[in-house]
Amino acid sequence: MITVVSGLPRSGTSMMMKMLEAGGKKVLTDSLRTADEDNLKGYYEDERVKALHQDNAWISEAEGQVVKVISYLLKYLPESHKYKIIFMERKIAEVLASQKKMMRRRGEPTDDVPDGIMTGIFQKHLDETYAWLSNQPSMRVLYISYNDSLDEPEDCAEKVNSFLGGGMDIEKMMQVVDSSLYRQRK
């Protein structure tokens, strides 16, 4: 079994990775992308994920661990494994605001595409991803609202603990949730 944390970029995936680590799960990360102003507590990424569409053979290293895979790359996970996916959901307007702020901070151009059009693109992707996930026999999915987890961290931690079979440290998971980091509210 491989545990995957997924969602759109800037949807709370790093927070969930940190929660799982605090709760006692081993996370697969290369630690190359370190904490910065956009993710003060770290990204919890493995660079190999970005090339899943070209090489997914390494994913067997994630057996018994947690790996972060953005929603666009889920379809490249090999069917030869079983997955429990924690899919983070966040208001699309907040995702867009967070992405733009991060891009500006890095000196990258922000999209010339209006937010209304980007919202439609993201929603279409999510709808297609939800439909695809519902037809994957090797994947079980738990949907977690980033927005709700900030208000009810105990409820979120308990749902995740139950989904993953129990035995996690709920108190430590809850301590990870830091509502002061919730900066792009919409």
Which candidate, 3, 179, 15, places its Cα nearest to that of 89? 15
Per CATH, the number for 2-173 is 3.40.50.300
Give the Cα-Cα-Cα angle 14, 64, 56 (nearest 5 degrees).
Answer: 75
3-state secondary structure of 184: coil
pTM: 0.86
DSSP 8-state assignment for residue 152:
-
Mapping DSSP to helix (H, G, I), strand (E, B) and coil, where does residue 155 land?
helix
Nearest in space to 145 (alpha carbons), one of 100, 91, 96, 104? 91
CA distance 68 to 86: 10
Q: What is the pLDDT along the chain (186 residues), one digit of tens a residue?
A: 999 999 998 888 989 999 999 999 999 987 665 554 655 555 577 788 888 999 998 999 999 999 999 999 999 999 999 999 999 999 988 888 876 666 666 566 666 777 788 889 889 999 999 999 999 999 999 999 998 999 899 999 999 999 999 999 999 999 988 766 554 445
Q: Which residue, 62, 170, 85, is CA-closest to 136? A: 85
How many whole angstroms from its chain centre is CA 64? 18
